Amino acid sequence: MIGLYDALGRPLLSLLEPENAHHLAIKTLRLAPLPNRSQDDALLAVRAFGLNFPNPVGMAAGFDKHAEVPDALLRVGFGFVEIGTVTPLPQPGNPRPRLFRLPPDEGVINRLGFNSEGADAVLRRLAMRVGAGGIVGVNVGANKDSADRIDDYVRQIDMFAPVASYFTCNISSPNTPGLRDLQQGRVFDELLARVMEARARMNRKAGTTPVLIKIAPDLTLSELDDVVGAARRHRVDGMMIGNTTVLRPAWLRDRETAHEPGGLSGRPLFALATRMLAETYVRVENAFPLVGVGGIDSGETTLAKIRAGACLVQLYSALVFHGFGLVSRIKRSLVDTLRSGQYAGIGDLVGADAAAMTAEPWPE
Ligand SMILES: Cc1cc2nc3c(=O)[nH]c(=O)nc-3n(C[C@H](O)[C@H](O)[C@H](O)COP(=O)(O)O)c2cc1C
């Protein structure tokens, strides 16, 4: 079914304006008669921040911003789905066009700017699926015009705790001016203090809901020292590395599109994001687990993220070029690797190359 969807749908989607193609993909997932969630090989199971993941491959934030199709995405084979970014109040985001493909580079540039239907609408949808099972995380952000951005994160943790498997605080989108400043110094410290206080408050009412922090791959290493130090002090449940990059590698082939402002993702992000993941892993010293995101498009790139320090991964951009069949291909490849190396599970490989990676020349 998923193979058929890819074979018929993808050539058509690639002809459409990217944002229209995205709307059509969501609509198709909503209507497609997908098979029920299938059982994953037990070798792929991962336990992290108190949750049992059937496999380590997650749908990254930004694809299902308004929680329209989380269950369809779980049926496609993802081990977990992250919806959002959600903002407390509805907001339209930036003017279109704001989403661009770079086909020769298998990259994507977006400057959507947190288009969100708002927390109330998303909460209603998630409340309707309570009891459906599967791990569905909620990625929260701040409204562009918010007077107290930190409060936007806190309020949404309060709101979504009963329906979220975990939270991701997105403080790393490049498309909301000033948002990335939340990663800096005292402001970051205050954000973590208030967010972790909300987590503790909600724990008493709704049970434990882990809180993760999603960072930019563009931090300097000294900024990363500070971020990891604060995250460890405040005992966050995990970190995601990372979001899109504002950098443009000199070797991009689609030079014209590369000039579009926004965050770059997909294959051109892989080397930078994987290096930052390894740099984070050596600083975290197993204090909490890491989720590797950025440029995953195969079994090999997934394995590289795991060996750089991730026990879970997420992807988005590669689906534009390779379709949803990629998820099963990655899982098959991981099982083959684990079997042939006689590993007991993903955990045996997490961080195996991290130290060596941090000694390599900085990726161009
Ligand atoms: C169109 C698009 C929209 C995105 N929107 C969000 C978002 O709302 N929140 C977020 O945390 N990340 C967002 N991201 C970033 C992805 O979650 C991911 O971190 C990044 O794209 C790197 O993964 P990839 O190379 O597999 O796409 C978006 C990415 C794309 C391509």
Among 316, 319, 320, say which to mutate for ligand 1: greatest number of ligand atoms within 8 Å of CB.
Answer: 316
Q: What is the pLDDT of residue 252?
A: 98
Q: What is the pLDDT of residue 203?
A: 82
Residue 254 makes CB contacts below 8 A (sequence gap 6+) with: 102, 103, 104, 105, 107
- Closest atom of ligand 1 to CA, residue 317: 27
- Closest atom of ligand 1 to CA, residue 243: 19
Supply φ then ψ for residue 239, to 5 degrees. -130, 150
- Average pLDDT per 10 consecutive residues for the chain, totaling 364 residues: 71 85 92 87 97 98 98 96 98 96 97 97 97 96 96 97 96 90 89 96 84 97 96 98 97 97 98 98 98 98 98 97 95 98 98 98 94
| CB of residue 293 inside a 6 A radius of ligand 1 | yes
Residue 45 CA, ligand 1 centroid: distance in Å:
24
Q: What is the pLDDT of residue 37?
A: 84
| CB of residue 243 inside a 6 A radius of ligand 1 | yes
Token readout for 161 is 């705790």
Nearest CA to ligand 1 atom 24: 294
Question: Which residue, among 61, 238, 197, has the nearest Cα to 141 in the 3D structure?
Answer: 61
Residue 293 CA, ligand 1 centroid: distance in Å:
9
Question: Which residue, among 175, 157, 176, 174, has the nearest Cα to 166 in the 3D structure?
Answer: 157
Q: Which long-range contacts (CB under 8 A, 24 or more apart) does 176-179 make?
A: 176/113, 176/114, 176/141, 176/142, 176/144, 177/144, 179/141, 179/142, 179/149
Nearest CA to ligand 1 atom 6: 62
Residues in the chain: 364
Supply φ then ψ for residue 299, to 5 degrees. -60, -40
313 vs 80: CA distance, rounded Å:
10
Q: What is the pLDDT of residue 314?
A: 98
Q: What is the pLDDT of residue 38?
A: 86
| CB of residue 236 inside a 6 A radius of ligand 1 | no
Active site residue 222: no
**CB hemisphere CA count around 131 (13 angstroms):** 2
Residue 121 CA, ligand 1 centroid: distance in Å:
21
Q: What is the pLDDT of residue 8?
A: 64
The answer to whether residues 164 and 127 touch, using CB atoms and an 8 Å cutoff, is no
| β-bridge partners, 167 | 138, 211
pTM: 0.97
Residues 36/42/47/51 CA torsion (nearest 10 deg): 20
Residue 244 CA, ligand 1 centroid: distance in Å:
6
Among 85, 99, 244, say which to mutate for ligand 1: greatest number of ligand atoms within 8 Å of CB.
Answer: 244
Q: What is the pLDDT of residue 206?
A: 72
